């Protein structure tokens, strides 16, 4: 009879994300993920087959959960734009140093160069854009944004602003990433903090 799993795949994939932030996907080892997750490298090999299998599972999970922060924030805030800012603050909080952001950007290289990873990256992007459209459409309906707002275009601009703001912070090291991102989003949305 097989032993029950003590550490769930969800916990392992979360540990994988932390290990990617610390080491980048290129330098990542199963031993590093195992240490982060509290499991042996052999357990990771048994569950995911290889480092590539683990990274693909991580990418698939990230795509499947891409809209979750938006749903959580919307449930916690009366204002759709307050929910948008909460998600932005959560994203900024995931990156404590420019090096950590650079390590996560290593996944982007896989996403762009490997068709198996690209499928998950595209699904992630579509899920985020859908979640943003829903928030922004609700903001229009509630009068937080002007009627007639081109919601799909604004959703795309919000995503571009979020990514660009965090990248600029990583390149310059200037300021607090959450504060910078909030300011950039407020400017895009024509609002003042």
Q: What are 40-93's pLDDT values in tens digits?
A: 999 999 999 999 999 999 999 999 999 999 999 999 999 999 999 999 999 998
pLDDT digits (tens, 9 = 90+) for 12-53: 999 999 999 999 999 999 999 999 999 999 999 999 999 999
The verdict on 55 and 71 lying in the same domain is no
Are residue 44 and residue 59 in the same domain, yes or no? yes
Kindly state whether residues 90 and 35 are assigned to the same domain.
no
- Distance between CA 54 and CA 51 in Å, rounded? 5
Quote the CA–CA distance of 48 and 185 in Å, as a whole number: 39
Same domain for 104 and 131: yes
Domain match, 141 and 120 both: yes
| Percent of the chain's residues with pLDDT above 70 | 96
Structural domain of residue 191, as residue ranges?
Answer: 66-193
Q: What CATH number should be reported for the domain holding residue 28?
A: 1.10.10.60
Sorted by sequence, the CB contacts under 8 Å of residue 142 that are 6+ apart come out as 79, 80
Q: Which residues lie below 8 Å from residue 9, measured CB to CB, with a gap of 6+?
A: 47, 57
- Shared-domain flag, residues 27 and 72: no
Asked if 115 and 192 sit in the same domain, the reply is yes
In angstroms, the first-to-last Cα distance of the chain is 59
């Amino acid at each position: 009879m097989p032993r029950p799993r003590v550490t769930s795949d969800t916990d392992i994939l979360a540990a994988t994300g932390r290990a990617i932030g610390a080491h980048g996907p290129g330098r990542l080892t199963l031993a590093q993920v195992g240490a982060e997750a509290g499991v042996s490298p052999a357990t990771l090999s048994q569950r995911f087959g290889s480092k590539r299998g683990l990274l693909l599972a991580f990418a698939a999970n990230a795509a499947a959960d891409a809209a979750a922060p938006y749903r959580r924030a919307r449930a916690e805030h009366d204002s759709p734009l307050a929910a948008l800012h909460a998600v932005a603050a959560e994203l900024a909080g995931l990156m404590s140093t420019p090096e950590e952001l650079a390590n996560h950007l290593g996944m982007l290289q896989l996403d762009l160069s490997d068709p198996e990873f690209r499928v998950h990256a595209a699904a992630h992007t579509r899920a985020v854009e859908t979640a943003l459209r829903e928030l922004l459409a609700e903001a229009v309906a509630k009068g937080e944004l002007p009627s007639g707002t081109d919601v799909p275009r604004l959703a795309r601009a919000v995503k571009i602003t979020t990514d660009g703001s965090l990248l600029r912070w990583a390149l310059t090291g200037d300021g607090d990433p959450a504060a910078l991102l909030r300011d950039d989003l407020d400017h895009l949305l024509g609002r003042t903090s």
